Chains A and B, each alone.
Chain A
């Protein structure tokens, strides 16, 4: 193995999300020589967000592969490498750049295992830095997760903090199914404790991020922090809000969410993606089915509008923030 041999995270450490993913990738590459990294600028540059920083230096150009600028080609060749027995971890540079690869992901990657009646596996991870809030130009702030969660054969996850980012990446790489790994790019620099000796929760399980009793806020990725802040603000007003970090958008851990809603009897869903036909819509429908007699209010959603992601100067108004979340909480509590 071409690795340096240095343990990526030797003891409990405070790491930003981006560095936690970096450490996770390093561990996965050390543990399994079949793990490859592919993408645009992932080599010498270490990726535009430096998530793959230093990996090419330590594992070589053969395992950390700078690719031509062709997203369909990146995913299409990753599929071929997976068929040959490799476990490619593909980086799509930004959310808005994934669509040239959408055909390969939806038509080929998602369906191939079923088409072969289970005889072949497609352990491909596609990393997509997603979401807004960093003042970027067009096509750099989108949240396309629903377009992937809708597709059978794909799994979709999004960590909200450094520890989850560290563990969920390794779990995604170990998965024999294709996983779309949505990285909350505005949280890349948020630090959190990573304990390499911890026992991680299952990849597709939700977590109670904060206990509460009056209503449940559910989110994933970048919006978990907003929900936690909203819960803290609500507490000052005497409202106890529970926050569920869903972590996985396909499959969704409805059991954990159901238990929370049966306790609080109210649910507000928060995501950056447009609410129309979004993950919140699906969750609202399912939770209404599961918790019909427990609900005191309709399930409400806070998210993006049915409009293109706005220019950066408007994104603070477009993105769900503390006030918009609390406004929905107030409406739910008013029933």
Chain B
């Protein structure tokens, strides 16, 4: 509080005119200014979003960062890892090798047949014999051999970027047409919700938004692998997982709007509060899983975190604790390639999933843009946990298509080409192609989803615009469960202070 403002306040109080509103006007630091009304950019101004139009500006900006793949190769060479001309897009490589295999046609046939009858709608999963030849995994990994680059590590994939259904010797899912349609619907609605929230931030309705654009498959696939009694510990970007847990999407907006710092009851959907400080929740998940084991329950716990968080000590400690106590926890790392502006090479010299080995549990890398593979791998990990086999690390290899948050400007640190390459691996598009090609969904289905998506957008807009600000005295609520003398004292003092304006306010109203 400045000298001037104090003077203005006491003047207002002494004279009994003007009251609270006059004070705020005098200080020039009232809500309006704080919310950047003058600049017309809503709460964004407060969040220092110089680049409030970050993503929009992407096109036409000079490229500053070296292409990621180039950097990666360099790092790989330095580390002296096995050699192979690094394919820029591991998923594609997988797809190609899969396409060559006889399995492709087999799977396709099964899919086509499925179109006819509901019973047959199941995809031809779990075909065993020539499985190895069909997997992208085997070919893309290990052997490498030629050239001096780094070989891309194994990547579990069941649906290629082109929408071809392939199989994997270890991981697979057997889904009905309705179930696959459900995954598609989940991803579309999640993306719509996310886009709506981004737009609402631009309109000043939210102070900030962390978009999940591009990570829908990782979140829906893993989220749909869980049971109701399982427990989720998210970061602040798990909007798709929240959707799978039936958390009302508008609940997620409260903290980004600034009306609360979390706001939902974690136990009503077994979905813990969003955690902003990176990696902390991974320990909470581990502790919770230790409790599950003590209870003799067969629930599983899943901890979400990112490639950046993998550098945090808390994540390493969670790996240690979970391994030592054999806790039923699944570590689900969405490697979206970027921790704000830092590429994964700044976090690790080895592929993240390989870290698990040193802690004594398995790690696997899955195509994070392949919802079927994410579902299959997470299901396996969750079953493993239930069976008392302990933790497992899943690295979902995906891409953050948008900015880190609405305050970020990715044009400063990454190339458009990279995003374009990943757009070709879009998680929703590939499932749509699969649904269409396999005859698992008709035009009416897609129209229905579009309609539902529109309705959801409208619902979210209305909900946020009518979301009330909290009562001032909420500052003092829930600080403690059993109360605290100081909080009581300060609450009473502040209430008295606020009440001291009531006189002048009512006088003003009376004029």
Query: Which A residues lie at the B interface, using CB under 8 A?
Result: 62, 67-68, 70, 72-73, 76-86, 100, 103-104, 107-108, 111-122, 152-153, 155, 175-177, 204, 250-254
- Contacts A/B (CB < 8 Å), 18 sampled: A68-B317, A70-B313, A72-B283, A73-B320, A77-B318, A79-B283, A81-B290, A83-B272, A84-B292, A85-B291, A103-B277, A108-B284, A111-B261, A116-B262, A176-B482, A177-B484, A250-B484, A251-B486
Chain A residues closer than 8 Å to B287, beta-carbon distance: 76-84
B497 at the interface (CB under 8 A from A): no
Contact in complex: B477, A67 (CB < 8 Å) = no
The CA of A85 and the CA of B287, in the complex, are separated in Å by: 11
Interface hit among B12-20, B242-250, B263-271, B337-345: B263-271
Contact in complex: B487, A152 (CB < 8 Å) = yes
Contact in complex: B484, A84 (CB < 8 Å) = no
Within the complex, the shortest CB–CB distance from B486 to chain A, in Å, comes to 5
Chain A residues closer than 8 Å to B280, beta-carbon distance: 76, 103-104, 107-108
B294 at the interface (CB under 8 A from A): yes
Within the complex, the shortest CB–CB distance from A43 to chain B, in Å, comes to 13
Chain A residues closer than 8 Å to B127, beta-carbon distance: none
Within the complex, the shortest CB–CB distance from A110 to chain B, in Å, comes to 9
Within the complex, the shortest CB–CB distance from A310 to chain B, in Å, comes to 30
Contact in complex: A117, B262 (CB < 8 Å) = yes
Chain B residues closer than 8 Å to A175, beta-carbon distance: 482
The CA of A83 and the CA of B261, in the complex, are separated in Å by: 18
**A70 touching B320 in the complex, CB below 8 Å, given contacts A62-B294, A80-B285, A114-B479:** yes
Within the complex, the shortest CB–CB distance from A170 to chain B, in Å, comes to 15
Contact in complex: B317, A116 (CB < 8 Å) = no
Partner of A77, one of B260, B283, B292, B485: B283
Contact in complex: A72, B317 (CB < 8 Å) = yes
Contact in complex: A72, B480 (CB < 8 Å) = no
Within the complex, the shortest CB–CB distance from B42 to chain A, in Å, comes to 24
In the complex, which residues 467-505 of chain B have their Cβ closer than 8 Å to any Cβ of chain A?
A: 477-482, 484-487
B4 at the interface (CB under 8 A from A): no
Chain A residues closer than 8 Å to B317, beta-carbon distance: 68, 70, 72-73, 76
B289 at the interface (CB under 8 A from A): yes
B416 at the interface (CB under 8 A from A): no
**A116 touching B290 in the complex, CB below 8 Å, given contacts A76-B283, A107-B280, A152-B487:** no
B446 at the interface (CB under 8 A from A): no
Chain B residues closer than 8 Å to A204, beta-carbon distance: 485
B291: nearest chain-A partner, CB-CB? A84
A115-B273, A121-B481 known; 13 other A-B pairs, CB under 8 Å?
Answer: A73-B320, A73-B321, A76-B280, A77-B290, A80-B286, A82-B287, A83-B266, A84-B292, A107-B277, A115-B261, A116-B265, A176-B481, A251-B486
**A119 touching B482 in the complex, CB below 8 Å, given contacts A67-B321, A68-B320, A108-B284:** no
Tell me whether chain B's interface is mostly helix, strand or loop, or mixed.
helix
Within the complex, the shortest CB–CB distance from B242 to chain A, in Å, comes to 15
The CA of A113 and the CA of B484, in the complex, are separated in Å by: 14
The CA of A331 and the CA of B436, in the complex, are separated in Å by: 89
Within the complex, the shortest CB–CB distance from B475 to chain A, in Å, comes to 10
A114: nearest chain-B partner, CB-CB? B478
B490: nearest chain-A partner, CB-CB? A152
Partner of B283, one of A62, A73, A114, A115: A73
Within the complex, the shortest CB–CB distance from A149 to chain B, in Å, comes to 10
Q: How many pairs of residues, A versus B, come closer than 8 Å at their CB atoms?
A: 148
Chain A residues closer than 8 Å to B484, beta-carbon distance: 155, 177, 250-251
The CA of A107 and the CA of B262, in the complex, are separated in Å by: 14
The CA of A155 and the CA of B486, in the complex, are separated in Å by: 11
Chain B residues closer than 8 Å to A68, beta-carbon distance: 317, 320-321, 324
Partner of A76, one of B265, B286, B291: B286
Partner of B290, one of A80, A251, A252: A80
The 4 closest A-B pairs by CB, nearest first: A80-B287, A76-B283, A84-B291, A77-B287
Chain B residues closer than 8 Å to A83, beta-carbon distance: 266, 272, 284, 287-288, 291
Contact in complex: A81, B314 (CB < 8 Å) = no
Chain A residues closer than 8 Å to B282, beta-carbon distance: 76
Chain A residues closer than 8 Å to B509, beta-carbon distance: none
B442 at the interface (CB under 8 A from A): no
B443 at the interface (CB under 8 A from A): no
Chain A residues closer than 8 Å to B479, beta-carbon distance: 113-114, 152-153
Contact in complex: A177, B482 (CB < 8 Å) = yes
Within the complex, the shortest CB–CB distance from A101 to chain B, in Å, comes to 10
**A81 touching B273 in the complex, CB below 8 Å, given contacts A68-B317, A68-B321, A118-B481:** no
A255: nearest chain-B partner, CB-CB? B485
Contact in complex: B284, A113 (CB < 8 Å) = no
B489: nearest chain-A partner, CB-CB? A254
Contact in complex: A76, B481 (CB < 8 Å) = no
The CA of A116 and the CA of B274, in the complex, are separated in Å by: 10
In the complex, which residues 30-56 of chain B have their Cβ closer than 8 Å to any Cβ of chain A?
A: none
A176: nearest chain-B partner, CB-CB? B481
Chain B residues closer than 8 Å to A253, beta-carbon distance: 485
Chain B residues closer than 8 Å to A67, beta-carbon distance: 321
Within the complex, the shortest CB–CB distance from B258 to chain A, in Å, comes to 13
Chain A residues closer than 8 Å to B283, beta-carbon distance: 72-73, 76-77, 79-80, 104
Chain A residues closer than 8 Å to B263, beta-carbon distance: 115-117
Within the complex, the shortest CB–CB distance from B50 to chain A, in Å, comes to 27
Chain B residues closer than 8 Å to A72, beta-carbon distance: 283, 313-314, 317
**A116 touching B314 in the complex, CB below 8 Å, given contacts A86-B294, A176-B482:** no
User: Which of A72, A76, A118 neighbours the largest number of chain B CB atoms within 10 Å of its CB?
Assistant: A76
Within the complex, the shortest CB–CB distance from A71 to chain B, in Å, comes to 9
The CA of A254 and the CA of B295, in the complex, are separated in Å by: 43
A204: nearest chain-B partner, CB-CB? B485
B484: nearest chain-A partner, CB-CB? A251
Chain B residues closer than 8 Å to A155, beta-carbon distance: 480, 484
Partner of B266, one of A114, A116, A152: A116
Contact in complex: A250, B486 (CB < 8 Å) = yes
Within the complex, the shortest CB–CB distance from B272 to chain A, in Å, comes to 7
The CA of A119 and the CA of B321, in the complex, are separated in Å by: 27
The CA of A207 and the CA of B495, in the complex, are separated in Å by: 30
Chain B residues closer than 8 Å to A84, beta-carbon distance: 287-288, 290-292, 295
B277: nearest chain-A partner, CB-CB? A107
Contact in complex: A119, B266 (CB < 8 Å) = yes
Contact in complex: A116, B277 (CB < 8 Å) = no
The CA of A156 and the CA of B462, in the complex, are separated in Å by: 44
The CA of A70 and the CA of B288, in the complex, are separated in Å by: 17
**A116 touching B481 in the complex, CB below 8 Å, given contacts A68-B320, A70-B320:** no
- What are the interface flags for B303-331 relative to A under an 8 Å C-beta threshold, 1 for contact and 0 otherwise? 00000000001100110110010000000
The CA of A254 and the CA of B317, in the complex, are separated in Å by: 41
Chain B residues closer than 8 Å to A82, beta-carbon distance: 287
Chain B residues closer than 8 Å to A251, beta-carbon distance: 484-487
Partner of B288, one of A81, A107, A117, A153: A81
